[in-house]
């Protein structure tokens, strides 16, 4: 009997041997196309017929575009599983995957990303509180600390950290921030159990905005969270708040953020993610009070390896057991 096929969209850099070991249960197939149109043509021309599971990376959107309704409809009927390499899966229209007949079940990578992302979060919190960017820029421009010298920074000790979105990364960040003496409060769609909250105070969204010294965005991007922080929300915050985002750029309205920085409502911010990556709002690039990292939350050998292994394990499980190990929560009714 012919083996099922497994399709790779994007690159595997660390777990190559594990990917290749899937050839004991599947024929491994790779796209020849170099853009979305060609990929859609390949799908429609039957090149991927027999593909049961696909593995995709965040960067593969450069080839296929987002997994939107058009793409989902073009995929072969044989395809039942999509293993997405990333915690955030806003590039995948899960609703379209569920609605297709037969549905495509989607998995993501929770937990493996938590430590590295929360580390970048802490780096950005400390950097933005201390205002390191101005003097780091001055030094590289040959001006030592710049003139008239950098403004004094602020200690994390005793500051209130508001975490918006208390999933795995938010909870990991909480523990790290407490080691720096920060007091943690959070808002989440639902209150966590005492055990998961670990003593962090649950507050309303408005209270989080009004009483945090540092606000960290740790929630997924979806239609309910796009621009969850915009002009109205900045207006409810403490003056001189520090904003940090390692989630997805579009949870903040970048235009509104630039204005809030310019009018002094926001003291400084630290960003790893942007609304239109790899483009960055010129108002952010121009502002020395903004720490900018080019989407590197999970960019470590250890974490990238763990994420690849995780996704391949999802593909193997799909092929061998007809089940994903870490299905996305939106599809729990389909399982
Ligand atoms: O951005 C990184 C991820 O979603 O894992």
The residue ranges of every structural domain in the chain are 5-111+302-331, 113-292
Given 38, 178, 277, 309, which residue is catalytic? 277
- Whether residue 297 has its Cβ less than 6 Å from ligand 1: yes
In whole angstroms, what is the distance from residue 28 CA to residue 51 CA? 9
Dist. CA 59–CA 61, nearest whole Å: 5
Pairwise CA distance, residues 134 & 145, whole Å: 8
For residues 276-281, average pLDDT: 96
CATH superfamily of 5-111+302-331: NAD(P)-binding Rossmann-like Domain (3.40.50.720)
How many H helices and E strands in the chain?
A: 14, 12
Site to probe by mutation for ligand 1, drawn from 59, 66, 87, 245 as the one with most ligand atoms within 8 Å of Cβ, is 87
Catalytic site residue from 36, 295, 309, 330:
295
Q: pLDDT-derived band of residue 335, with 50, 70 and 90 as boundaries?
A: confident
Work out the percent of the chain whose per-residue pLDDT is above 90. 97
CB neighbours (10 Å) of residue 99?
Answer: 13
Residue 333 has pLDDT above 90, yes or no: no
Topology at the third CATH level for domain 113-292: Rossmann fold (3.40.50)
Q: What is the CA(46)–ligand 1 centre distance, in A?
A: 31
| Confidence check: pLDDT of 81 > 80 | yes
Query: What are 197-239's pLDDT values in tens digits?
Result: 999 999 999 999 999 999 999 999 999 999 999 999 999 999 9
Q: What is the pLDDT of residue 293?
A: 98
Mean pLDDT of 64-82: 98
Whether the CB-CB separation of 67 and 56 falls below 8 Å is answered with: yes
pLDDT confidence of residue 1? 74
Q: Do the domains spanning 5-111+302-331 and 113-292 agree at the CATH topology level?
A: yes
Q: How far is CA 323 from the centre of its chain?
A: 24
pLDDT (mean) for 150-158: 96
pTM given for the model: 0.95
Q: Whose CA is nearest to atom 2 of ligand 1?
A: 86
167 C-beta closer than 6 A to ligand 1: no
Give the per-residue pLDDT at 2. Answer: 85
Query: What mean pLDDT value characterizes the chain?
Result: 97
Q: Is residue 248 annotated as a catalytic residue, yes or no?
A: yes
Dihedral angle, C-alpha 181, 187, 193, 197, nearest 10 °: -10
Residues 10 and 18: their CA atoms lie apart, in Å, by 15
């Amino acid at each position: 009997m012919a083996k099922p096929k497994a399709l790779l969209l994007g690159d595997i850099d660390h777990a190559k041997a594990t990917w290749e070991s899937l050839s004991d249960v599947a024929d491994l197939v790779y796209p020849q196309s170099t853009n979305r149109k060609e990929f859609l043509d390949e799908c429609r021309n039957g090149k991927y017929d027999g593909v049961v599971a696909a593995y995709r990376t965040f960067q593969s959107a450069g080839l296929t575009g987002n997994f939107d309704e058009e793409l989902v409809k073009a995929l072969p009927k044989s395809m039942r599983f999509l293993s997405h390499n990333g915690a955030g899966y806003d590039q995948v229209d899960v609703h379209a995957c569920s609605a297709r007949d037969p549905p495509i079940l989607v998995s993501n990578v929770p937990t493996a990303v938590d430590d590295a992302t929360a580390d970048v979060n802490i780096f950005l919190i400390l950097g933005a509180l201390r205002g390191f960017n101005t003097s780091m820029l001055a030094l590289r421009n040959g001006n030592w600390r710049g003139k008239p010298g950098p403004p004094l920074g602020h200690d994390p000790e005793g500051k209130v950290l508001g975490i918006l979105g208390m999933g795995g990364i938010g909870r990991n960040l909480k523990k790290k921030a407490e080691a720096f003496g920060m007091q943690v409060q959070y808002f989440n769609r639902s209150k966590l159990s005492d055990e998961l909250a670990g003593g962090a105070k649950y507050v309303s969204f408005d209270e989080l905005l009004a009483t945090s010294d540092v606000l960290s965005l740790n929630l997924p991007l979806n239609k309910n969270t796009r621009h969850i922080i915009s002009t109205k929300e900045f207006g409810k915050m403490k003056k001189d708040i520090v904003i940090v985002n390692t989630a997805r750029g579009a949870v903040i309205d970048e235009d509104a953020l630039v204005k809030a920085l310019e009018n002094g409502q926001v003291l400084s911010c630290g960003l790893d993610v942007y609304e239109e990556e790899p483009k960055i709002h010129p108002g952010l690039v121009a502002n020395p009070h903004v720490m900018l990292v080019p989407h590197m939350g999970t960019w470590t050998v250890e974490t990238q390896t763990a994420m690849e292994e995780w996704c391949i394990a999802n593909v193997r499980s799909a092929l061998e057991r007809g089940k994903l190990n870490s299905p996305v929560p939106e599809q729990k009714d389909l399982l």
